[in-house]
Amino acid sequence: MTTTPASASSLPVAVYGAGGHTGRFIVRELQRRGMPVVAVGRDAAKLPAGVTARVAAIDDAPALARAFAGCGVVINAAGPFLDTAAPVIGAAIEAGASYLDVTAEQASAMESFERFDAAASAARVAVIPAAGFYGGLADLLATALVGDGGEVDTLTVAIALDRWWPTEGTRKTGDRNRVPRLVVDDHRLVPMPLPAATSRWQFGPDHGEQAVVELPFSEIVTISHHLRVRSLRAHLTQASLDDIRDAATPPPSAQDDDGRSAQRFEMVVQASDRGTLRTAVARGQDIYAVSAPLVVEAAARLLQPGFDRFGARSLAQAFDAHDFLAALAPAHLTVTMA
């Protein structure tokens, strides 16, 4: 179905859910980098102006394939991904395009890895779920510490958000996603023990010491997909969890020229092995906005001639973690390792 032009890098990137909050950040980042964009969504009136727009409903496979025709990469920004990932991946593969999404949903990421690896490999495309803030960033930090395919005794992820102003999509996903959360114990994915464990974590000066609650997202799936870890757990600041659980918490509002909210985040990944503790930290602004440079950098690399890591892969399994993080700093992230 796909016709390869003289330069693969000139292929457009389709953004499904381009009219949503994160989708608009992704479209703007693609435009900033001079990459051709096709905005795809279920409602033409909600798609951003100034780019090629195509309409396709999530339950219309032929329309999705037509919308992605001629594109080199499809970025899915439309949650809940438990409902959208499979049909968008199927249509992307049918169109001969690689696939990225920004899911925080563990079950969606697991299904993408398990269900589409063979088809993506056969089509010589990549399927990379959970390539945004949740899933992708922690995977990059962990892999930078351990090495792709490496082995480590314990990995711990801790995330501090000074506020969490949830989007409408985040709230819909929370209502839809009732799947038990998973952690890694004894090298196996297992249900997280309940009630969720609470503790305290010393973050950097912007956040300080915080109460945290065990709350794993898609990073458990992306990291364990290619790193051998005996124990993998993740924690979120209790205050930000309280924000998202409060129905009165407003959605994010733009506070700068890039449309970002004032939210500040810190993500810490600690690797403990044989008495040695190594730490990687990423800091930045707005977890929704920062997903855009993550997936757009991935899209640009997927479109480079010679890319050959086909199949279903995590972000850090598809690309060199150190090099990828360096490409995002300091414009989008501040990254330190010790």
Measured CA to CA, the distance from residue 223 to residue 317 in angstroms comes to 9
Q: Is residue 14 predicted with pLDDT exceeding 70?
A: yes
The pLDDT score that the predictor gives to residue 38 is: 98
Q: How many CA atoms lie within 13 A of 183 on its CB side?
A: 21
Predicted confidence band of residue 234 (pLDDT cuts 50, 70, 90): very high
**pLDDT tens, position by position, 188-205:** 999 999 999 999 999 999
Q: What pLDDT, in 10s, does the model give residues 242-261?
A: 999 999 999 999 999 999 99
Beta carbons of 113 and 221 less than 8 angstroms apart: yes
Map out the domains of the chain as residue ranges: 8-131+290-333, 136-287
The pLDDT score that the predictor gives to residue 4 is 34
Mean pLDDT throughout 22-43? 97
Query: CA 193, CA 196: separation in Å to the nearest integer?
Result: 6
Write down the pLDDT at residue 7: 41
pLDDT in tens, 284-309: 999 999 999 999 999 999 999 999 99
pLDDT of res. 175: 83
Q: Return d(Cα 225, Cα 127) in angstroms, integer.
A: 13
- Residue 187 pLDDT more than 90? yes
For the chain, give the number of residues.
Answer: 338
Nearest-angstrom CA–CA distance, 149 and 151: 7
- At how many degrees (to 10) do helices 321-328 and 287-302 cross? 120
Average pLDDT over residues 120-137: 98
Give the mean model confidence (pLDDT) for residues 3-19: 73
Which ranges of the chain would DSSP assign to H, the alpha helix? 21-32, 61-68, 81-94, 106-123, 136-146, 168-176, 219-224, 238-245, 287-302, 315-318, 321-328
CB atoms within 10 A of CB 206: 11
Strand (E) or helix (H) holding 54: strand 52-55
Q: What is this structure's pTM?
A: 0.95
Cβ neighbour number for residue 22 with a 10 Å cutoff: 26
d(CA 337, CA 269): 10
Phi, psi (rounded to 5 degrees) for 318: -85, -30
Q: Please report the pLDDT score of residue 5 as a whole number.
A: 33
For residue 9, name the pLDDT band (cuts at 50, 70, 90): low
In this predicted structure, what is the pLDDT of residue 6? 32
pLDDT over threshold 80, residue 2: no
CA dihedral 297, 77, 269, 211 (to 10 degrees): 140
- Output the pLDDT for position 253: 97
More confident residue, 169 or 220: 220
CA proximity to 120, closest of 333, 334, 318: 318
Confidence of residue 272 (pLDDT cuts 50, 70, 90): very high
Residue 1 pLDDT > 70, yes or no?
no
Q: Which residue has the tokens 């952690």?
A: 183
The one-letter code for the residue type at 169 is G
pLDDT of 134-179, one tens digit each?
999 999 999 999 999 899 999 999 999 999 999 998 998 888 878 8
Is residue 205 reached through a cis peptide bond, with omega within 30 degrees of 0 on the bond before it? no
Matching CATH number, 8-131+290-333, of 1.20.200.10, 3.40.50.720, 3.40.50.300, 3.20.20.60: 3.40.50.720
Q: Is the dihedral of CA 22, 320, 10, 69 positive or negative?
A: negative
Q: Compute the average pLDDT of residues 309-321.
A: 98
Fold of 136-287: Dihydrodipicolinate Reductase; domain 2 (3.30.360)
